[in-house]
Homo-oligomer: A and B are copies of this chain.
Amino acid sequence: MPAGGAGERGERARTIAVTLPWDRIMMGGRVFLAIGKTLMWPNRRLCDLLKIEHPIIQAPMAGSATPQLAAAVSNAGGLGSLGCASMLPDGLRNVARQMRASTERPFNLNFFVFPRPNTSDAVLTGVIDRLRPYYEELSLDEPSRKLPPIGPGFDDEKLELLLEIRPPVVSFHFGIPDAADVGRLKRAGIAIIGTATNVAEARKLVDGGADAVIAQGWEAGGHRGSHARNGPGDGVGAMALVPQVVDAVKLPVIAAGGIADGRGIAAAFALGASGVQIGTGFLSCDEAGTDAPRRALMRAASDMDTMVTDAFTGRAARARRTRYALEMEESRTPLPDFPQMVALSAPLGDAGAKGDFAFHLYGQAAALNRELPAGELMRTLVAETSDVFEALSAGKEMPA
């Protein structure tokens, strides 16, 4: 919105909201009857781009988003997503086949973009010294100095595979591939979405050829999509981030972070977004791959349950606040490159009692979760959003 945003008012079609105690209205001499409510989204840019009915993207959430969940969301008119970063070619072909068998609507495959890890001996020695007491406490052997060899996050093999599979939508986290690769995907008819955690990253996604930008707020569960490692104090809340990204880029902006119900969806549209991405909100759905302990945690969640830490994977992620995460954040030991740190933290999580070392990814609005089938959650979200839009306009004074 430009400064003094009231300026264009005269040029637009005028909207008058009328609150009636009954369900018909006369206009231009004709009587119009209200015949049930159909939400027409106030901004259809994302719907038009992705060919979806409702601008609600279920976040990819590797390990939690199943083909069943994604298909249910797509079938309900949203965009179902699958986190494919660590899938091998056959696995990827298989889930794409599953998606196509379960829905005729668009779906999204998500990949990570990161440089090949290159952890120095000094960093490895430092973090092992830092972790040794935890390993001893849990009666584990000495932490292994052998970090797994891991390639870059997105490479030629994955590109060729995507050109073969041709999913309707591909989204990227932590950055965007080379413009040439993005160009090939787009020419194959694939819509490209990237994640930004600040305005500068949003601009990089535009330059890289993205078709839409996810503005991921500080509230979001899971890995922050920052294109570089986070520093202390990084993290822009959605309320401040979304309008600044909307002002900075001409693409449709998808708000993410802390959005779990119709209030959050309506707020995102108020901020100028053309859609939302919801992750944590889908974790309690029947079709999600969320295990029983995490379902129980979310049932009892509060707004202060989580924190941002890189102590599990080497990249900042919002996860449940545990003793391990708090102590590692306090000490700020330099960590192995993403995702090699997983090799050192995973044995702790597997062995840890009382959840002190558990890696539970979720966001700041987990307390708003509903335990519903995904299709029913989608319908609830749309109905709630419609109700909020209605409530916001209902207060307007009637012309007299």
Contacts and interface: CB of A to CB of B under 8 A. Distances in A.
Contacts of A108: none
A161 interface: no
A99 to B, nearest CB: 28
A179 interface: no
Contacts of A34: 14, 16, 399
Interface string A369-400: 01010000000100110111111111111111
A295 interface: no
A363 to B, nearest CB: 7
Interface stretch (A128-136, A163-171, A235-243, A351-359): A235-243
A17 interface: yes
Contacts of A365: 239-240, 243-244
Nearest to A16: B25
A15 B17 contact: yes
A13 B5 contact: no
A13 B19 CA distance: 6
B5 A363 contact: no
B303 A244 contact: yes
Contacts of A266: 267, 270, 392
Nearest to A33: B399
Contact of A243 (B18, B41, B270, B368): B368
A287 interface: no
Contact of A390 (B44, B238, B364, B393): B393
Interface of A: 1, 3-6, 9, 13-29, 32-35, 37-44, 198-200, 217-219, 231-241, 243-244, 247, 257-264, 266-272, 302-304, 306-309, 321, 325-326, 329-330, 332, 363-365, 367-368, 370, 372, 380, 383-384, 386-400
